[in-house]
A and B are shown apart, each in its own frame.
Chain A
Amino acid sequence: MSVVQNMAIKHKLILIIMSTCIAALFLASVILLLFERGEYRKETIDSISCYAEMIGDNCRAALAFEDAEDARETLKSLQAESSIVFACVYTKDDKVLAQYQPPDIKNEFTPPVCKKEGNKFGSDFFRLFKQIKDGNEIIGTVFIQLELNQMKTMIWLKAGTIALVGLTCALVAFLVSSRVQSIISGPILSLAEVAKAVSEKDDYTARAVKKSNDEIGLLIDAFNEMLEQIQQRDSELVEAKEQLETKVMERTAELSATNEKLSRSNQQLQEFTYVASHDLREPTRKISSFGQMLADSLGDKLEDDDKENLNFMINGADRMQQMIEALLTYSRVSTKGVSPDRVDLNEIVEQLKSLELAVKIEETNANLIIPALLPAIEGDPAQIRQLMQNLISNALKYQKKGVLPEVIILANKEENGMMKIEVRDNGIGIKKEQYDNVFVMFRRLHSRQEYEGTGIGLAVCKRIVERHGGEIGVSSTYGEGSTFWFTMPASKTPTQKDNELEESLSAPAGYKDLGV
């Protein structure tokens, strides 16, 4: 069935017309043939009945006088009809009086038992019994057997003729239908073509031509209307897009102008900070150094109060210097925009251990543990260094009294591809309420007497981490220790070792196994 469904419309139409025609022709032929056969049969019955009657009539005397010879003579006249293969006359006692067979037939034919008046069409023969009557009295019966070959041949001939006619009709029907089907298929095909052209070339200006006022015409109208609507929407879209683009351009221009302004002002600010702090440094240095010189030269000659006062001054100047230093660092973090690079944390930590933090580590007898290799991250090496330095020095600074500081640095790969680095200490810990406060600029949780510091370190760390697109945070058990963590993007140009390491760090249970 799908074969038929997938045929072209043209072929479908022709198929429909042809199958209708052929069915009709076939039916007509069959009916005609049957009718012909019926006619032939009727004719046969009529003519043979006629013969039988004539024979019967001519045999009256022969039957009356039981003259077989005469009856035989009468029967001989049946030679005229070549299809008669046997005939006989029965007396009123159903005995055969005389019989006839055409001279060329060799086989003896046995006359059948006399039957009542009637006829029958067998497959090869036609048989007829006719009674000879005198008034109401039956004086004898005539029997004639006819061979049907001739009739059959006639019928076959007729059938052949009808078949030939049928074939010709079918051919003509085919030719006519091939032309006429275009009435339906033509408009459909042209519509299909337009549709195809529209979809292939995205040309919505194309229109189908309406040629008729029937359902196809309706279809074409609807199609054209659709195209019209699409075209309209298209142009509206284009307009809107243009408007949007203009708007976007305007906004972008505004934004970039603002950006420019901001960046300029930022730059100015930073420059100012840099210059200012630089300029600020000089006098404070002077205060500090000259103060020290004074202390050195006048140390013995001064009263305790004065000595104390001088020390306060020097300390104040030192502190100011530190703060300015911190400010500078902070500003540096903002100004310097170095193109990110692969940063090996292990190297950084090693360097810190041996250089910047060497003294501090020795002083505090601290233990810096790095259980597993740290990964490489993408960032500004100097800033990362500053970050690590700040975190580790904090860990060392805020140690518990009487407990040797132990700092553990761990790394883990997050689901979003960022590296999470943790710096754990066993220091004094931080209260939960203060978690956010520790990262605020100049905010300190302790006094200068307890622990020294400027209050800038963690703020700087936060700034660095956020600049790199990561996050920073802390979790702690007050009195036991703190864990400072931050996330950073993994190195964009990892080495093979980095990759292997990354693999192993993906397992979340990584550092749990270390029993830390």
Chain B
Amino acid sequence: MKIKTYILIVIVLSLLAVSSAPQARADSTSSREYQVKAAFLYSFINFVDWPEDKLTEDNKQIIIGIIGDDPFGNAFEPIKDKQVKGKDVVIKRFKSFNELNKSDEKIEAVTKCHLLYICPSEKDELQRIINLVTKYNVLTVGDMKSFLESGGIINFLMEDKKVRFEINNIAAEESELQIRSKLLRLAKRVIKK
């Protein structure tokens, strides 16, 4: 009787382990990718100039907003204390666009972000989000097809397992954002006039 129970427990445990393993693996690779992307987000900020009134001396913080299903997990952990342009970085999370609409506060908060990462989950609301923040000098960063065509400024893409990006400079100019040539140089694709 005892032995049987023992064996049963072992089987269940191993099944669990096996089932969770790929996910764990999936988690580790994706978390590596998102660690890089998180670092990139910080780096983007270094190579982008906001207009005077958006990013002043008085501003003590740079706000990175994440709207949608946050894929980063704890990717920001290693770099959360890092300063960019001499200012602290704050990560604000927003559940979804629909959620956002319900609260004026939240909408205001979103417009206050310097950089807004639009998660793939918000694919359907993409255009609306972008229209919302266009006037508010927000650097929109996405991770989906046709992000730039929709008016997004920087879009991540993967090439040979390496994280790359493409830039829509026209959209940047519309948002009164100045993207440095160094960054533009590194983009796989740049949409400009």
Q: Is the CB of A67 within 8 A of B186?
A: yes
Q: Which residues of B contact A134 (CB under 8 A)?
A: 46
- Asked whether any CB of chain B lies closer than 8 Å to the CB of A103, the reply is no
Q: Which residues of A contact B43 (CB under 8 A)?
A: 61, 64-65
- Asked whether any CB of chain B lies closer than 8 Å to the CB of A58, the reply is yes
Q: CA–CA, A67 to B188, complex, Å? A: 11
Q: Is the CB of A62 within 8 A of B186?
A: yes
Q: Is the CB of B86 within 8 A of A61?
A: no
Q: Which residues of A contact B183 (CB under 8 A)?
A: 61
Closest to A134 in B: B46
Query: Contacts A65-B43, A66-B162 known; A135 to B186 CB distance under 8 Å?
Result: no
Closest to B47 in A: A61
Closest to A64 in B: B43
- Asked whether any CB of chain B lies closer than 8 Å to the CB of A406, the reply is no
Interface-central residue, A58, A60, A65, A137, by most chain B CB under 10 Å: A65
Q: Is the CB of B162 within 8 A of A61?
A: no
Interface size class of A (residues with CB under 8 A): 10 to 19
Q: Is the CB of B86 within 8 A of A135?
A: yes
- Asked whether any CB of chain B lies closer than 8 Å to the CB of A53, the reply is no
Interface-central residue, A58, A62, A64, A67, by most chain B CB under 10 Å: A64
Q: Which residues of A contact B46 (CB under 8 A)?
A: 60, 64, 134
Q: Is the CB of B83 within 8 A of A65?
A: no
Q: Is the CB of A70 within 8 A of B86?
A: no
A-B contact count (CB 8 A): 30
Which residues A28-79 have CB closer than 8 A to chain B? 58, 60-62, 64-67, 70
Which residues A116-161 have CB closer than 8 A to chain B? 134-135, 137
Measured CB to CB, the closest approach of chain B to A111, in angstroms, equals: 21
Q: Is the CB of A65 within 8 A of B186?
A: yes
- Asked whether any CB of chain A lies closer than 8 Å to the CB of B94, the reply is no
Measured CB to CB, the closest approach of chain A to B37, in angstroms, equals: 11
Q: CA–CA, A70 to B36, complex, Å? A: 18
Which residues B99-141 have CB closer than 8 A to chain A? none
Q: Which residues of B contact A61 (CB under 8 A)?
A: 43, 47, 180, 182-183, 185-186
Q: CA–CA, A66 to B162, complex, Å? A: 9
B17-39 toward A: CB 8 Å interface, digit per residue (1/0)?
Answer: 00000000000000000001001
Q: CA–CA, A137 to B162, complex, Å? A: 24
Q: Which residues of B contact A62 (CB under 8 A)?
A: 186
Measured CB to CB, the closest approach of chain A to B162, in angstroms, equals: 7
- Asked whether any CB of chain A lies closer than 8 Å to the CB of B76, the reply is no
- Asked whether any CB of chain A lies closer than 8 Å to the CB of B50, the reply is no
Q: Which residues of A contact B72 (CB under 8 A)?
A: none
Q: CA–CA, A64 to B163, complex, Å? A: 12
B179-192 toward A: CB 8 Å interface, digit per residue (1/0)?
Answer: 01011011000000
Q: CA–CA, A62 to B180, complex, Å? A: 13
Q: CA–CA, A155 to B91, complex, Å? A: 59
Q: CA–CA, A61 to B162, complex, Å? A: 15
- Asked whether any CB of chain A lies closer than 8 Å to the CB of B40, the reply is yes
Q: Is the CB of A70 within 8 A of B162?
A: no
Q: Which residues of A contact B163 (CB under 8 A)?
A: 66
5 further interface pairs, Cβ-Cβ under 8 Å (given A60-B182, A70-B185, A70-B186): A61-B43, A64-B43, A64-B46, A66-B36, A67-B186
Q: Show 15 residue pairs from A and B whose CB-CB distance is below 8 angstroms, ordered by the A residue.
A: A58-B182, A61-B43, A61-B47, A61-B180, A61-B182, A61-B185, A64-B40, A65-B40, A65-B43, A66-B162, A66-B163, A67-B186, A70-B185, A135-B83, A137-B82
